[in-house]
Amino acid sequence: MFKNYIKIAFRNLYKNKGYSAINIGGLAMGMAVAIMIGLWIQDEFSFDKYHQNYGRIAKVMQTVDFEGEVFHGGYMPAPMGSELRNHYKDDFKYVVMSSFNSEHILANGNNKFTRKGNYLSAEAPEMFSLKMLKGTRAGLKDQASVMLSASVAKALFGAADPMDKIIKLDNRHDVRVTGVYEDLPYNTEFRDLTFIVPWDLYVSTQDWVKNAINNAEWNNNSWQVLTQISDHADFETVSSKIKDIKLKHAPEIAFAKPRIYLLPMSQWHLFSGWDKHGLPDGRIQYVWLFGIIGIFVLLLASINFMNLSTARSEKRAKEVGIRKAIGSMRSQLINQFLSESMMVVALAFVLSLLLVVVLLPVFNEVADKQMNVLWTSPWFWVAGIAFSLVTGLISGSYPAFYLSSFQPVKVLKGAARVGRYAAIPRKVLVVLQFTVSVTLIIGTIIVFKQIQHAKNRPIGYDRTGLVTVNINTPELSSHYNVLRENLLRTGAVMEMSTSSAPATEMNSSNSGFEWEGKDPNFKENFGTIAVTHDFGKTVGWQFVEGRDFSRQFSTDSSGMVLNETALKYMKMKRPSDIIGKTVKWQNTSYTVVGVIRDMVMDSPFKPVEPTLFMVNYGWANVINIKLNPTLPARESLRKIESVFKVINPGSPFDYKFSDEQYAAKFATEERIATLASTFAILAIVISCLGLFGLASFTAEQRTKEIGVRKVLGASVANLWALLSGDFVVLVVISCVISAPIAYYFLNGWLLKYEYRTNISWWIFASAAVGAIVITLLTVSYQAIRAALMNPVKSLRSE
């Protein structure tokens, strides 16, 4: 009997090839989107699970309440590690001090390149459960040692054994390879940790770090502390024990209410974002967003399937009557309809897997992932098969249980009618489809509008042709003047300078400043950037009042420039109130020479921080170079590289364009916008497939009506309006419903950005007009085709 069901099902699919293609193709498309979103969500939740101690690893964090805003920070003072290790040893199995992942130069003879690595305590490899290919996890015991990832070891030594070989780190330190570990997976916080050097080497060679530890500087937050709690401990209890550590050692910052706590590794990726009120605002919101989108896209495809299945099943009433007349039982008819439905779903599921295999590489590139189909996961197959069964049963239930109940005598006499209200459920489902689709379109437009709004924001400097080079060797810092003279002589460089941070990054903030008229109760916090005299000419900052630094004025050796926000922050009404005045900090008096327009150095979606730029040649981390705009960039970089190789022969010439670094600040929002727009387009396509099928069915149902109307004088335009009007009304209703829904959710999303666009009326109008035009284009083919049909053919049977 089952074989007979399958044979009849195939015959029906083949007989109605158009409907079958729409049914299977639409459902497969929806299932493919749901599978890819499911893989994305699974990847997000599996972040960092590579580490065996995942459930017990944590990052030491702190919160401070500053002028009513709550800030969460992951950088700690240098003494924090020894404090936890010595006074809370029962609560921690490992306490690991960490600098931060940054680029360093690795060299084996003439083989030199830059890679990201970190200075970590010796227990780090054990805590992170690195998979060792050579050596052991105890490889950082020796201060002059290094552990390499497999890819870096291969890049440095090729097929040769790297163990016990000596390499040069940053042209300063000779370190011995004591271990090679497997490259960390893409979905871990430490995926770019390509080598590890002992924390002790960092301390012994960096005087400022050594001083911070020896002098117990509890207000210098420049390092990370990573921990693994003891087997008997829990995060909440340990956090309550250590919450007042900083307050105990630095009571002078009691006004900021510092609180220390542990952030478990399980929360690093999805739950480590906070708004200005200290409320969670991490990537979990995107997991929820795409999860909902995946469900809705799948729902749209299922609605198509159910609509077309029920619509076509009404034409099979006579088939039911004949089968029952010759002895078919109702249970057999139910099984027949359900079997056909299950077959369509099964074919769609197979096709969706093929689509996923083809599209997953593109999806990975857009989503910045390295996902694979989980062929060996039981849960993957359970979810896929379960959905197929549920969809097949639901969509097949109407023809199976409703049509099989018809009495054969009434059906064969033509007395059985589906009823005037039979189309209402289908219309409701079409409205639901387009409500979801239009909401996604509105959301996509607003997301792109917000990104463009931030991109069009004045940034206060000229990033065109601005290049930065990290100072990671002593040769660059000690021979800076010679380097500058030689570069300017090439004609490829307009101007250059050094600074403690590139123009696209705010990496330091400080307090403890004093100036005339300051409120003694005011607790300030300024972004602080150390620069050389030529920084302003290099980046092209714009003055509101005052002047740039100049070597002609001896006072400028300790000069200072403020941005507009700093002026307001200091309660100054006019730039002239501060220009020429003295600002004291760390026993040094700085003379303010000018006020500049705000430079957007941090997030383009946030307000600019009050920032002070101070002349200081000893606090240089990057070289800023302004390329000559009259020369091709490639030629300029070639000339610059030749000079760098003379001054700094032991290092590769690695540079970054500031416009590319600034563009990277939009990466997350643009990725979300691209994915959302892709899903919105797919939702519209799936909805239109269903609409096309329903329009075809409606035109077929009303063939005789169209013939009569044509005989009575109806024009093609009249008939087109008649057949298209019903669908347009449904889409208009969808637009009316989607507008307030989209506004509510997207207004809430925009509120998390302090620098944000507004939601304009034209967005809703554009989405509505677009949906109506797409609807007309979709149904017009079937409507015009039916209107052009010869009425003689449709009325011949009468």
Please tell me which residue, 571 or 10, carries the higher pLDDT value. 571
Q: What's at 294, amino acid-wise?
A: G
Q: What is the pLDDT of residue 700?
A: 64
Residue 19 above 90 pLDDT?
Answer: no
Segment 342-346 mean pLDDT:
84
Please tell me which residue, 695 or 310, carries the higher pLDDT value. 695
Contact partners, residue 612, CB within 8 Å, separation at least 6:
513, 526, 527, 528, 529, 560, 561, 562, 566, 583, 590
**Residue showing tokens 């170079």:** 625
Bridge-partner residues for 98, per DSSP? 120, 224
Confidence of residue 648 (pLDDT cuts 50, 70, 90): confident
402, burial (CB in 10 Å: exposed 0-12, middle 13-18, buried 19+): middle
For 166, other C-beta atoms within 10 Å of its C-beta total 11
**Residue showing tokens 């083809």:** 358
User: What tens digit of pLDDT does each residue of 378-429 get?
Assistant: 888 988 888 888 877 776 676 667 666 666 656 555 555 555 555 677 778 7
Segment 651-667 mean pLDDT:
89
Q: CA 640, CA 467: separation in Å to the nearest integer?
A: 11
Q: What is the pLDDT of residue 531?
A: 94
DSSP code of 189?
T
For 57, other C-beta atoms within 10 Å of its C-beta total 25
Measuring CA to CA, how many Å separate 798 from each of 704, 705, 707, 787?
A: 9, 12, 11, 19
Q: What's at 724, amino acid-wise?
A: S
Contact partners, residue 36, CB within 8 Å, separation at least 6:
356, 359, 360, 363
Q: What's at 551, amino acid-wise?
A: R
Q: What percent of the chain has pLDDT over 90?
A: 43
Q: CA 189, CA 176: separation in Å to the nearest integer?
A: 26
Q: CA 319, CA 315: separation in Å to the nearest integer?
A: 8
Residue 62 above 80 pLDDT?
Answer: yes
Contact partners, residue 653, CB within 8 Å, separation at least 6:
469, 640, 641, 644, 645
User: What tens digit of pLDDT does each residue of 355-365 get?
Assistant: 999 999 999 98
Mean pLDDT, the chain, rounded, equals: 86
- Are 152 and 201 contacting, i.e. CB atoms less than 8 angstroms apart? no
Q: What's at 488, amino acid-wise?
A: L
Q: CA 562, CA 612: separation in Å to the nearest integer?
A: 5
Q: What is the pLDDT of residue 417?
A: 53
Contact partners, residue 657, CB within 8 Å, separation at least 6:
466, 467
Q: CA 381, CA 385: separation in Å to the nearest integer?
A: 6
Regarding pTM above 0.75, the answer is yes
The H-or-E segment that residue 559 falls in is strand 559-563
Please tell me which residue, 514 or 312, carries the higher pLDDT value. 514
Residues in the chain: 798
Segment 669-686 mean pLDDT:
85
User: What tens digit of pLDDT does each residue of 77-134 get?
Assistant: 999 999 999 999 999 999 999 988 888 999 998 898 999 999 999 999 999 999 999 9
Confidence of residue 634 (pLDDT cuts 50, 70, 90): very high
DSSP code of 63?
E
DSSP code of 752?
T
Q: CA 674, CA 368: separation in Å to the nearest integer?
A: 12
Spatial CA neighbour of 5 closest among 389, 328, 418: 328
3-class DSSP assignment, residue 424: helix
- Are 593 and 576 contacting, i.e. CB atoms less than 8 angstroms apart? no
Q: What is the pLDDT of residue 102?
A: 86
Q: What is the pLDDT of residue 203?
A: 93
User: Dihedral through CA 394, CA 776, CA 743, CA 761, nearest 10?
Assistant: 180
Residue 263 above 90 pLDDT?
Answer: yes
Tokens of 641: 């590289």
The H-or-E segment that residue 715 falls in is none
Segment 205-225 mean pLDDT:
88
Q: CA 181, CA 147: separation in Å to the nearest integer?
A: 7
Residue 4 above 90 pLDDT?
Answer: no
The H-or-E segment that residue 221 falls in is strand 221-229
Confidence of residue 430 (pLDDT cuts 50, 70, 90): confident
Bridge-partner residues for 175, per DSSP? 167
- Are 72 and 279 contacting, i.e. CB atoms less than 8 angstroms apart? no
Q: What does the DSSP assignment read for 257-306?
A: --EEEEEEGGGTTTS--B-TTS-B-STHHHHHHHHHHHHHHHHHHHHHHH
For 159, other C-beta atoms within 10 Å of its C-beta total 5
Q: What is the 3-state secondary structure (H, E, C) of 647-701?
A: HCCCCCCCCEEHHHHHHHHHHHHHHHHHHHHHHHHHHHHHHHHHHHHHHHHHHHH
Residue 278 above 80 pLDDT?
Answer: no
Q: CA 439, CA 738: separation in Å to the nearest integer?
A: 5
User: Dihedral through CA 418, CA 420, CA 425, CA 430, nearest 10?
Assistant: 120
Contact partners, residue 158, CB within 8 Å, separation at least 6:
none
Bridge-partner residues for 115, per DSSP? 104
Spatial CA neighbour of 20 closest among 292, 304, 303: 304
Q: CA 608, CA 624: separation in Å to the nearest integer?
A: 21
Q: What does the DSSP assignment read for 443-487?
A: HHHHHHHHHHHHHTS--SS--TTEEEEE--SHHHHHTHHHHHHHH
Q: What is the 3-state secondary structure (H, E, C) of 148-171?
A: EEHHHHHHHHCCCCCCCCEEEECC
- Are 538 and 528 contacting, i.e. CB atoms less than 8 angstroms apart? no
Half-sphere exposure of 160 (CA within 13 A, CB side): 10
Residue 637 above 70 pLDDT?
Answer: yes
Q: What is the pLDDT of residue 720?
A: 77
DSSP code of 609?
P
Contact partners, residue 543, CB within 8 Å, separation at least 6:
594, 595, 596, 597
Q: Is the dihedral of CA 36, 41, 47, 49 positive or negative?
A: negative
Q: What is the pLDDT of residue 318?
A: 67
Q: Select, from the ranges 313-322, 431-440, 572-581, the one with the highest average predicted confidence (pLDDT).
A: 572-581
Confidence of residue 160 (pLDDT cuts 50, 70, 90): very high
- Are 437 and 300 contacting, i.e. CB atoms less than 8 angstroms apart? yes
85, burial (CB in 10 Å: exposed 0-12, middle 13-18, buried 19+): middle
Q: Taking the chain, what is the end-to-end CA distance rounded to the nearest angstrom?
A: 39
User: What tens digit of pLDDT does each residue of 730-782 get?
Assistant: 889 999 999 999 999 888 888 888 888 899 889 999 999 988 888 888 887 77
Q: What's at 1, amino acid-wise?
A: M
Tokens of 332: 């057999």
Q: CA 378, CA 318: separation in Å to the nearest integer?
A: 43
User: What tens digit of pLDDT does each residue of 581-614 get?
Assistant: 999 998 899 999 999 999 999 889 888 999 999 9
The angle, 0 to 180 degrees and rounded to 10, between the axes of the packed helices 703-711 and 667-701 is 70
User: What tens digit of pLDDT does each residue of 445-470 get?
Assistant: 998 899 899 888 899 999 999 999 99
